[in-house]
Amino acid sequence: MAQRKSSKKAAPQRTASRGHNLQLEPDLLEDFYRTAVRIRTFEERVQQAFEENIIKGTAHSSVGQEAIAVATCANLRDDDFIATHHRGHGHCIAKGASIDRMMAELMGREDGYCQGLGGSMHIANLDLKILGANGIVGAAMPLGLGAALTAKMRTTDQVAVSFFGDGGANQGLFHEAMNLAAVWKLPLIFICENNQYALSTAMTSTTSVPRISDRAVAYNVPGTTVDGNDAAELFHVMRDAVDRARAGEGPSLIEALTWRWGQHSVRGGIADPRSDDDKDHWIARDPLLRLEEDLLAQKVTTKRGLTAIRKKAVEECEDAIAFGDASPEPDEETMHNSVYSPHATYDEPTSLGERELTYTQALNEAMHQEMERDESVFIMGEDIGATGGIFGTTKGLHEKFGEVRVRDTPISEPAFCGAGVGAAVAGMRPIVEVQIFDFVTLMMDMLVNQAAKFRYMMGGEPTVPLVVRGPQGGGIRLAAQHSQSLEAWFAHVPGLVVVAPSSPYDAKGLLTAAIRDDNPVVFLEHKLLYFGDAAPVPEEPYAIPLGKADIKREGSDVTIIATQAMVARALSAAQQLENEGISVEVIDPRTLRPLDEETILESVCKTNRLVVVHEAWTRGGFGSEVSAMVMEKAFDWLDAPVTRVGAPDVPMPFNDRLELAVIPSVERIVDAVRDLF
């Protein structure tokens, strides 16, 4: 296909209108009708199955919106991606999903696409390039962004489609994803299924523009509003967008005006604010009825033929109910095994050698070596390119690997983190740098609801090899919004791996392991460690096993568990206490999730006393979890209560004297140990 030249003029906005030139070929028209009938029949049978208590929980019907799914997916190849939303059954069916396995999933059965762990809102199948329906409004956009980025980086001509509703168009993600897709000219098509209502609120009450497509001009992207109930019109508009994307000309926005016939979900029970006149108007524009009229007008089939198609769809759905009913329910082993991909095992180097690196240099070398080893590894974040990042961790990567694999992003943390999730699912190994780790608060949905749960919601089959890394902690006077230690948040979430190295050697080996791991890893780098002394680090690539603690100093009287910058202070405290006749064992967990409980418990059973030290707030901090674990599993071995040393319940102050008072000191650690004796 010839490459088109990109226009530098503002992208045109237009409203498509149906005309005689938008006819469908007879075979295509009949295929459209068969698929639309299958979707309609499936949705109606799901509603009935819910009322019969065969399907529990909830589901969201797309009755009335079938033309969008059919016309969109008819333009896609098998290797093109789609990401959709809670009302996504029709998209999955149109992309080739099995009705049997979909119904089994809605019934919570093991033979469902997600082994009964995802349900209606999370149907997915990566073999079909269905990145999943999603229970979070707007989430399909950054996931599609990542899939489109993968296609562009691999120089395929695949495209990605992100479906979202009119409500999703008011999410910040819509604007961030549109902007990033336009900046990077990604082959991503945004399709807004504008059914004009949220759960019960009209779009006119929540949206500042009369047409969602009007917003495309702000990003120099073509925006088109179409009749979403006219399959022929949407098919042709979508075909233009797909051609444009495959030619490397970037994203498009299509707004498809439509109407959902039923309530927000099959659960019902909510007063429907929509008027009877509006309902009658849109039901008269039934997309299936319009397809039938075209089929009969073009003499493609007869009324008897239409009846036969509908009858076959009903039989297929009944067979699907029987398939689901015959499928076993998932067991607890399936549930537990679906959270994490297995971690690789590694042998650590037997010698560190004499060469020394700083903490920053060690991180940098790990990324250099892994990007050389594996072309699927790339990094993106704010100001990481020519400048090498504000702390220098990415220095030299841009010069060596180029702007394709070292990507400066807009200040759009949710979008580029979500793109990282989508790219990981699509087969890449992205490293997402958070410029200051406090900004991870803007990424929480992408980390907690998407990255952490993706494998689980999809039945334990996908991998999400994503690393989110950056500087956290205080000590350099950046005040309350740039100095937090938030590790306890992430250690709380099943599906995330949390790594916190304290030395140059650990930094290189753990980052290498994190990049190679098939799970999403939150990789914490303490700011003070960037400015620490150099230490021996092997030149060859090596990986430290995730979930393996390190005994930094052996002792017999008391155990100190310390993390990140607190490890050096714990070692200083141990040296001071040795002069007082107290033998201290210092353990660095290195990985906070999974936690090496065995090493900690063995040490406590030897020393009979435990102090846990971290910089984060004491209340609700990581030390609380360690304390609880030891109290539950080694209580009989303790000669004194577990002691925690952390920050008081105040945000980090700017004043230098107060900042020093908040962060645990060597003196506070020493005093905590003395109190145990």
Q: What is the rounded end-to-end Cα distance, in angstroms, of the chain?
A: 78
CB neighbourhood size of 307 (10 A): 11
3-class SS at 497? strand
Catalytic residue among 255, 382, 413, 659: 413
Alpha helix positions (H), 158-225: 172-183
Tell me the backbone φ, ψ of residue 102, rounded to 5 degrees. -65, -45
CA 377 to chain centre: 17
DSSP conformational letter for 197? B
Cα separation, 320 vs 435, in Å, equals: 49
Beta bridge partners of 207: none
Residue pair 661/644 in contact by the 8 Å Cβ criterion: no
Q: Which two tokens stand for residue 177?
A: 């994803």
Q: Would strands 429-433 and 377-381 be described as parallel, antiparallel, or unpaired? A: parallel
CA 673 to chain centre: 42
Q: How many helices (H) and strands (E) does the chain have?
A: 24, 20
Q: Give CA angle at 120 (115, 123), nearest 5°.
A: 60
Catalytic residue among 482, 525, 526, 614: 482
198, exposed or middle or buried, with CB in 10 Å at 0-12, 13-18, 19+? middle
DSSP conformational letter for 449? I
The residues, ordered by sequence, that sit 6+ positions from 322 with a Cβ below 8 Å of its Cβ are none
3-class SS at 378? strand
CA dihedral 643, 649, 652, 653 (to 10 degrees): -120
Q: Which residues of 455-479 are buried (b: 16+ CB within 10 A; e: fewer)?
A: bbbbbbebbbbbbbbbbbbbbeebe
For residue 482, indicate whether it is catalytic: yes
Q: Minimal CA–CA distance to 589: which of 508, 526, 506, 649?
A: 506
Residue pair 253/144 in contact by the 8 Å Cβ criterion: no
For residue 375, indicate whether it is catalytic: no
Contacts 24+ apart (CB under 8 A), 529-534: 529/359, 529/502, 529/503, 529/564, 529/565, 530/358, 530/359, 530/360, 530/391, 530/392, 530/393, 530/471, 531/476, 532/358, 532/359, 532/504, 532/568, 533/358, 534/356, 534/357, 534/358, 534/361, 534/504
Cα separation, 462 vs 82, in Å, equals: 16
Radius of gyration, alpha carbons of the chain: 28
Q: Which residues are catalytic?
A: 413, 482
